[in-house]
Amino acid sequence: MKASVKHLALVLMMFAVTLTATAAPKDVSFTTADGAVIDADLYGVGAHGVVFAHGAAFDKKSWAALARRLADLGYRALAIDFRGYGKSRGGRNSRALDQDVLAAVRWLHAQGVSSVDVVGGSMGGGAAGQAATEVRPGEIDKLVLLSPMPIAHPALLQAASILYIASRDESLAPTVRQQFAQAPQPKQLILLDGRAHAQNIFATSQAQHLSDTIIQFLTSRKK
């Protein structure tokens, strides 16, 4: 009898884990300071938040696998569509993508999360970086910039810890190194083998390494 109860408990636990990993994200939206309406996918119900900002050739769905992994680890992952993508629209300036990231960070804080990290790739990396120069102290905890487009003043980045990632032989690598050199401490730079740019790395043999690197960096706060 006891063995049957234990077996049932194990089955239910495995079912719960599977359900969490495969559950469809919740569709949410919020408004930016300049009037854009941003559509986003919300994964998980955890105490820590993370915003995902996509590149120009991608959208919010491109972060699904990584967002689900973080949701399973106790995160509330928010993958946004930038203004002009999907159902996101409006805003006084079509190029003010930093406002989309800022609105996402502040929306998560308003939901009561204890901290918010930001992950951005290429165009989204530039927007995340620019947003991190405009935040109030403590609004962004960890910042991951994946082959980010350059910003004017990387020395003004505000985050508890910053991780730059790029492919060693991609065309933007020298610029990423220059941006990294100007960024404040604490910071890390990781160069992966290959020449793929930003989220395109997820379609290469470096995909698992990239995912694990981001996960390890974001979750290292947890004891």
Residue 82 lies in a domain: yes
* pTM recorded for the entire structure: 0.90
- pLDDT of amino acid 221: 65
58 belongs to a structural domain: yes
Strands 26-31 and 37-43: antiparallel
Report the CATH number that the domain containing residue 86 is assigned in CATH.
3.40.50.1820
Burial category of 205 from C-beta neighbours within 10 Å (exposed 0-12, middle 13-18, buried 19 and up): exposed
The answer on pLDDT for 20 being more than 70 is no
Domain that holds residue 200: 27-219
Percent of the chain's residues with pLDDT above 90: 88
Residue 14 reports pLDDT greater than 80: no
pLDDT score at 22: 54
Closest to 202 measured CA to CA, from 53, 63, 60? 63
pLDDT for 23 equals 73
Let me know: does 181 contact 207? Beta carbons within 8 Å. no
The answer to whether 55 touches 2, Cβ cutoff 8 Å, is no
Tell whether 16 is covered by a domain. Answer: no
| 22 is a domain residue | no
pLDDT in tens, 157-214: 999 999 999 999 999 999 999 999 999 999 999 999 999 999 999 999 999 999 999 9
Query: Is position 12 within any domain?
Result: no
Alpha-carbon 69 to chain mean position: 12
Q: Residue 45 above 80 pLDDT?
A: yes
Determine the Cα–Cα distance for residues 17 and 23; give it in Å rounded to an integer: 10
- pLDDT tens by residue, 106-155: 999 999 999 999 999 999 999 999 999 999 999 999 999 999 999 999 99
DSSP states of 50-103 as a string? EEEE--TT--GGGGHHHHHHHHHTTEEEEEEPPTTSTT-B--S-TT-HHHHHHH
- Contact call for residues 136 and 109 (beta carbons, < 8 A): no
